[in-house]
Amino acid sequence: MAKKQLTYQEALNEIEEIVTHIEANKFSIDELGDKVKRVAELVKFCKEKLKYTEQELNKIIEENRKEDQP
């Protein structure tokens, strides 16, 4: 079965949940390292998603500018 593609919002929600649990000391020291690694992965994913979205928006803006020029 195919794995569901993670969305930006899902990643952001997971980051927020992990950070909230870290701040509340809800993880054991053994879990903490894994959770910090997971947050780092999610932050990287979000940055890549934002960069891709920015590039796509810039393409659209540039195409619209070309269409508007005489």
Domain boundaries, the chain: 8-68
pLDDT tens-digit map of 6-28: 999 999 999 999 999 999 999 99
* Residue 52, pLDDT score: 97
CA dihedral (62, 64, 66, 70) positive or negative: negative
pLDDT confidence tier of residue 69, bands split at 50, 70 and 90: confident
* Residue 2, pLDDT score: 59
* Residue 1, pLDDT score: 56
Helix ranges (DSSP H) in 1-70: 8-23, 29-68
Q: Which of 34, 32, 36, 55 is nearest to 44 (CA)?
A: 36
Is a pLDDT exceeding 90 seen at residue 53?
Answer: yes
